[in-house]
Amino acid sequence: MTGLVTGLGVDARPRVVPGPVLFARYAFPPNSHGFCGPADSGEFFEHGVAGVDDKGLRAMAQQFAGAWPYLQLIAGATGLADPLDRRVVEAYWIGSRRLDQVGTRAVGNSMEDRFRHMTGAMFGSLTEGVLAGGVPHHSFAVFCIYPYTGLLTDRRKAPHALTVLDRCRIRWGRVLAVSGDQVVVESQPLTWDGDVLGLGPSTTETVVQSVDGVGMVGGVRPGDWVSLHWEWVCDRLTDSQVALLRRYTQRHLAIVNDRQARSVVPAMLG
């Protein structure tokens, strides 16, 4: 096939699924840990496995208090009526040039609506990431909003904080092997040297794509690029999607490393 690179390549896109179903693939992992979203993670998982855009799944998506306002922001700023439009969902979790259409003022206003009452006089510290070029990508929420980046400076709490940051971000990995429910991938973990938060050398890790053969993503093969959230495979990615995910991840890492103040917002995982 002309233009095929590696894995899925630029011309071999994964099967397109509806926006709400794609959202479920990425949102289920933290929901399964009890961090965000509906109380019944099992029911949410079943909706994602069914792969149908229905009212029940849409109602559950709106219960993700962290992610939902970002979807609304992206949709409103880019002329899309549905926050669960696939283009919006993909922009938030993976990355898209649509994010660069969301103005600084719009992001700042959204942050003010959500967080000023929680942070008071410290709200100015939160806006630093926005003014530095932060956009409504999941990596912005993880690195610039959640409190774990700030905990890295506490030597006692740093190891746990780094683990949470690494698991909570959407990361990319190359599939090395598939065995039933488990997938072995090569990925780059986050590193912290006491001053800089970055991406380390590639390592192998074992993640899951299903439970007893039941999962949301199928057809994963060695050589594929996949997206990962906590211990789950979320989707198969094209080379261009990997590049976008890497780009926005590195963009927000750079902002965090340049900032003097760390996040002051209580956890709103999702």
pLDDT of residue 105: 82
pLDDT of residue 118: 58
pLDDT of residue 117: 54
Which of 187, 233, 244, 236 has the alpha carbon at shortest distance from 210? Answer: 233
Q: Can you tell me the distance from the alpha carbon of 97 to that of 99, in angstroms, rounded to the nearest whole number?
A: 5
Which residue is associated with the tokens 């192998």? 204
Which residue is associated with the tokens 């992001």? 107
How many C-beta atoms surround the C-beta of residue 157 within 10 A? 13
pLDDT of residue 186: 99
Mapped to the 3 state alphabet, what secondary structure does 41-78 carry?
HHHHHHHHHHCCCCHHHHHHHCCCCCCHHHHHHHHHHC
Residues 6+ apart with CB under 8 A from 237: 7, 8, 14, 94, 172, 224, 225, 226, 227, 245
pLDDT of residue 161: 97
pLDDT of residue 243: 98
Q: Can you tell me the distance from the alpha carbon of 111 to that of 154, in angstroms, rounded to the nearest whole number?
A: 26
pLDDT of residue 3: 33
Domain boundaries, the chain: 19-169+239-258
pLDDT of residue 124: 55
pLDDT in tens, the chain (270 residues): 223 333 444 334 557 899 999 999 999 999 999 999 999 999 999 999 999 999 999 999 999 999 999 999 999 999 999 999 999 999 999 999 999 999 888 787 777 666 655 555 554 556 667 768 899 999 999 998 888 998 999 999 999 999 999 999 999 999 999 999 999 999 999 999 999 999 999 999 999 999 999 999 999 999 999 999 999 999 999 999 999 999 999 999 999 998 644 443 333 333
pLDDT of residue 47: 97
